[in-house]
């Protein structure tokens, strides 16, 4: 059995999860990646998506996360997410309203650069929605 490591999921409002995990799959900005014990130090931003945690005590948990970054270091893995909700608690219309907001952002964008950024966010949210539907 693979070794366990300390995993922390933190949102600005509170510490959501702090426990031993054997594997965590993070939706990185440049693709999903899995972290296991003894991973090389990595720091990555994240796109909206599903974070999967395999707990050392057994069982898997899924969180929908948005915005933030993951930091894997010698002490373990820390994920700082602006929003993190267990997938079971996530309502479909919540994502839908976020997508609507993002669409507005794209429309209201004043210059090219900010429109591009808003469009990326929108695309990421749409991706996340399709992923959630398949779960």
Minimum CB distance to other proteins, residue 132 (Å): 21
- Shortest Cβ 50–other proteins spacing (Å): 18
State which residue, 13 or 58, has the beta carbon closest to other proteins: 13
Of 86 and 135, which has the nearer Cβ to other proteins? 86
DSSP letters spanning the chain = -PPPEEEEEE-SS-EEEEEEEEEEEEEETTEEEEEETTPPPEEEEB-SEEEEEEETTS-EEEEEEEEEEEEEETTEEEEEEEEEEEGGG--HHHHHHHHHHHHHHHHH--SHHHHHHHHHHHHHHHHHHHHHHH-
Compute the least distance from the CB of residue 78 to other proteins, in Å: 6
CB of 134 to other proteins, least distance (A): 25
Residue whose CB is less far from other proteins, 13 or 134:
13
Positions in the binding site for other proteins (CB under 8 A): 8, 10-15, 28-30, 40-45, 67-69, 71, 73-75, 78, 80, 82
- Identity of the residue, 2 or 43, whose beta carbon is nearer to other proteins in the bound complex: 43
């Amino acid at each position: 059995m693979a070794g366990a490591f300390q995993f922390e999921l933190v949102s600005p409002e509170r510490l959501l999860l702090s426990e031993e995990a054997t594997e965590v799959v993070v939706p990185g900005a440049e693709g999903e990646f899995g972290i296991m014990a003894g991973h090389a130090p990595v720091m990555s931003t994240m796109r909206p998506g599903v974070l999967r945690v395999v707990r050392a005590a057994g069982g898997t948990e899924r969180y929908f996360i948005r915005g933030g970054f993951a930091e894997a270091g010698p002490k373990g893995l820390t994920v700082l997410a602006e929003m993190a909700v267990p997938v079971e608690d996530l309502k479909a219309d919540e994502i839908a309203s976020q997508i609507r907001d993002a669409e507005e952002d794209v429309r209201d964008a004043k210059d090219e650069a900010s429109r591009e950024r808003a469009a990326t966010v929108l695309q990421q949210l749409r991706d996340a929605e399709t992923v959630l539907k398949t779960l």
